[in-house]
Structure 1
Amino acid sequence: MSEDERDRNEGLTDAFERSGMSQGDLARRVTARARRFGLRHVNPDASSVRRWLQGTKPRDPLPRLIADVFSERFGHRVTTYDLGFGSPPDLDRPLTYSPSFTETVESVTELGRADMDRRKFLAAAPFAAAAGVGPSRDWLLTALDQEPKPGPRVRLEDVTEVRNMFARFQEIDVMQGGGSGRLLLTKYMNAHVYPLLRRTHAEDVRRALCGAAAEQTYLLGWMAFDSGEHGTAQRYLIQALRLAEESEDVRLGAHVLAGMADQTTVLGNPAEGRKIAQAGRQGLRGSDSPACLADLWALEARALAALGDSVGTARAIASSEREFARVDRDAEPEWARFIDGAYLHGEYATAFRDLGQAAPCAEHARRSIGYARTQNRARRGAMSHAILTVSHLDGGDLESAHSTGLRTLELARQVKSSRCTDAVRDVQRRLIPFGRHPLVADFNERARSVVAA
């Protein structure tokens, strides 16, 4: 075997041979793509391609541009890693809210491949606290400029199939936790949904498909959030917001912003979480979605409670309850199905917990538990039982706290959700002031398997 053969880039060679392109053709396509992004200094030729095939690694941004060309050629995402360049996924790319639809498709498909093939690498991606502010602003400016367009709802076979799958995956998430169906959803998106975005469509079909893809991409982000992979979740949510803009569905965009607001507040930046929730509400001024508005007000209440604003929290909760009273389930989209009593009262209880107001916290936690029990929703039940446990501890009632704490553990074992695990850890932290009481020791012993899992 010659030295050239030994150093040859097998990944790139395989893709090149399958593509049917000549070396000059590949060089021209890479140059054209570089021009699309304003990169005038990128000018590969046939000799450049020959060197790449022989094992020379091209300098940035060429690996990404080459991967984009092959992705376009094959109709599915090809990464720089697939092409033998040894480059990890570009984790900053999905943090960008690109004005280019083509770039958005590349970002979200690359993210999907990384989530499926290189999950450990992606799981280490950091959450960027300021990254959600720009996308929420850009989406809001576009949403306020849009005028509702009349016409029948698009019901094309491919889009309908994607929307039907969304309902099934959302059910898995709600009933079993984000860790249960996420890998299956990731595979489905990479194999069936993201490739559809690359095809040529009539404009109405493209909008409908972008809306369906946005719903599923949001759900991937939410599942990652529920699994504690916040960097991954943030990247999915930003790209879901961009796809929602392409679909011209303002309600869906506001729903994505609700998820972004929730995550930002949970991760310790409630001031920004509140701004994102407010952007979602402002974007809905020309549309009507009581369920989404109820959610956004609840998340603003959560942010205000974290900021210590008890008056603002009470007002936001009252606004959320007022909007929820207007909800007509038949008029709401599928993704709004679980913005209901179990969820909203759980959010209200969390807000009052953060304010240290035990009585209203317990009241809303019990209402959430009642709804969740009726629907057999273990994740929501576990989280609301944990909140009720905290309210008992705040009132000094260790015996009641132990009883509800054990129910928290029982429900948490039934789902794959890091949020449930975090709720158990929170109870453990709040038990510390009670010292070595036998009930504390018993709870910690029983919680060990949940926390370890």
Structure 2
Amino acid sequence: MKKPNDQLLEWLRRSAMSRGELARRVRGKALEWGQPHIAPDRTGIRRWLDGESPRRPIPNILADVFSEHFGYRVTTYDLGLGEGTVADDLLVYNSGYAATVETVADLGRADVDRRKFLAAAPFAAFAGVGPSRDWLLNTLDQVPAPGPRVRLEDVTAVKNMFGVFQQLDIFQGGGSGRLALTAYMNEHVFPLLRRTHTDGVRRALCEAAAEQTYLLGWMAYDSGEHGTAQRYLIQSLRLSEESQNAALGSHVLAGMADQATLLGNPSEGRRLAQAGRQGLAKAKSPACMADLWCLEGRALARLGEKRAAAHAVVKSEEAFGKVRPTEEQEWAKFIDGAYLNGEHATTFQDIDDVDNAEAHARRSIDVAARQKRARRGAMSQAALAVTHLRRRDLESAHSAGLRTLSLARQVKSSRCVEAVQDLRRRMEPFGAHRLVADFDERARELVAAA
């Protein structure tokens, strides 16, 4: 016997709507969502109140109806309809703007109220195929559409906050500011997406929201919560389409490519990077192009395509040579010598080119040290240590490993912890050597604290 949905019943009671009125509003909202087949009557409402689970996207439509009625955000969780399908829903690249707004708002709410549930959601290996295709097709043939109403001053405030949070991520790691950014998005940004203004302001707002949603995905990625990260990135890609900023969409695809390769899907990573480069046919961002070639190189190296990987590094460096920082967008600031050389070092490691791996790691370390970027410095020091181990130079590897530990302690980043653990594994073949034992003991302390 089904258990009555007391939460939905309470919201209906507070709204003072009858069952018939709620059914009428759901039908009207379904038409706005492009879902004319959703047409419940009083009996349908009664079944949902009695505990029957409505099919997708009815829970989101109900949330939209109650949000509109009360004038503030009501989610599927509030209505007792949230956890059953939310993890899958958040991977969907919705065709409609209204559905996108509801999905991204639910994602932000889930990241606060249902963090353990959301963190347990798996990374879906090929979930990026459809979104990247849909984004590319719509970006290359885009027609402006009417949009919600909001003030330009609101958008400016959101964009200014992006710079603050991005700096926090770069210098302190993804685990430092994520909760604050999630709260800011839930309270200030997602509600703006439901309001109206001119088409131009709407596009600017979607651009700002896409930037912030991407950053949340990147912070989750850096914290090792890959299922959550993937869902943020897909919704960021959808918002970037609404903004008509092709370079931003390509940047999101770069993040998706990076994640796919890291998690053992380099073929998917390569395809996503290539889609991003195609998208730049409608925009100019040498920094983003350098990043996409860099990440394609990472994927090719994992696939064992050594010559193609080395060629991709050359193309990345050529693109980076054309970067004019004052002409790039805010989100591109991290694409610099510290980042690119660090990634290239890993590419050359994977294709067994130790000399180039060392050279790029040292370049990255030098730039990161000048910028005081501990996370990037730690990862590049780890890459340098690996080159020493490949040459059987344990003493140099130990010294670079200690520098890795020192920098990793300064940030909240699971990627730094993973780099340390990788070094521990790579030192195991040296047996019970005192330097191995010393590094292992220090590394255990870091891992335990993390």
- 2:35: which partner in 1? 38
- 1:219: which partner in 2? 215
- Residues 188-208 of structure 1 show CA distances to partners (whole Å, capped at 9, x for unaligned) of 101000111011221111101
- Residues 312-356 of structure 1 show CA distances to partners (whole Å, capped at 9, x for unaligned) of 111111111111111111110100111001000001001011112
Task: Say which of 393, 396, 421 aligns to 2:389.
Answer: 393
- 2:64: which partner in 1? 68
- Residues 60-83 of structure 1 show CA distances to partners (whole Å, capped at 9, x for unaligned) of 345443223213334544233312
- 1:174 and 2:193 are equivalent in the alignment: no
Structure 1 residue 247: deviation in Å?
Answer: 0.4
Contact 1:89 1:114 in 2 (8 A): no
* Residues 1:211 and 1:88: Cα distance change in structure 2 (over 3 Å): same
Contact 1:72 1:198 in 2 (8 A): no
Provide the secondary structure at the position in 2 that maps to 1:128.
Answer: coil
- 1:414: which partner in 2? 410
* Residues 1:52 and 1:267: Cα distance change in structure 2 (over 3 Å): closer
Contact 1:89 1:110 in 2 (8 A): no
* Residues 1:339 and 1:11: Cα distance change in structure 2 (over 3 Å): same
Structure 2 distance, partners of 1:139, 1:52, is 35
TM-score of the two chains, using structure 2 as the length reference? 0.93
- Residues 26-68 of structure 1 show CA distances to partners (whole Å, capped at 9, x for unaligned) of 12112333454536364231x6546756x54454345443223
Structure 2 distance, partners of 1:17, 1:155, is 34
TM-score of the two chains, using structure 1 as the length reference? 0.92
- 1:189 and 2:185 are equivalent in the alignment: yes
- 1:204: which partner in 2? 200
Structure 1 residue 300: deviation in Å?
Answer: 0.7
For 1:407, the aligned partner's letter is R
- Mark the runs of 5 or more structure 2 residues left unpaired by the alignment: 145-149
- 1:161: which partner in 2? 157
For 1:211, the aligned partner's letter is E
Report matched runs for 1:345-424 at 5 Å.
345-424=341-420
- 2:89: which partner in 1? 93
* Residues 1:76 and 1:397: Cα distance change in structure 2 (over 3 Å): farther
Contact 2:27 2:38 in 1 (8 A): no
- 2:233: which partner in 1? 237
For 1:60, the aligned partner's letter is R
Contact 2:254 2:272 in 1 (8 A): yes
Structure 1 residue 310: deviation in Å?
Answer: 1.5
Contact 1:358 1:391 in 2 (8 A): yes
- 1:110: which partner in 2? 106
* Residues 1:196 and 1:298: Cα distance change in structure 2 (over 3 Å): same
Structure 2 distance, partners of 1:395, 1:160, is 52
Task: Say which of 72, 78, 82 aligns to 2:78.
Answer: 82
Task: Say which of 126, 137, 140 aligns to 1:141.
Answer: 137
Structure 1 residue 97: deviation in Å?
Answer: 1.1
Report matched runs for 1:233-382 at 5 Å.
233-382=229-378
Contact 1:27 1:49 in 2 (8 A): yes
- Residues 162-190 of structure 1 show CA distances to partners (whole Å, capped at 9, x for unaligned) of 00000000001000000110011111101
* Residues 1:64 and 1:242: Cα distance change in structure 2 (over 3 Å): closer
Contact 1:75 1:195 in 2 (8 A): no
Contact 1:306 1:354 in 2 (8 A): yes
* Residues 1:345 and 1:87: Cα distance change in structure 2 (over 3 Å): closer
For 2:224, the aligned partner's letter is G
Structure 2 distance, partners of 1:306, 1:51, is 52
For 2:260, the aligned partner's letter is T
Contact 2:293 2:315 in 1 (8 A): yes
Provide the secondary structure at the position in 1 that maps to 2:251.
Answer: helix
Aligned residues between the structures: 440
Identity of paired residues, percent? 64
Provide the secondary structure at the position in 1 that maps to 2:65.
Answer: helix
For 2:121, the aligned partner's letter is A
- 1:3: which partner in 2? none
- 1:27 and 2:20 are equivalent in the alignment: no
Structure 1 residue 443: deviation in Å?
Answer: 0.5
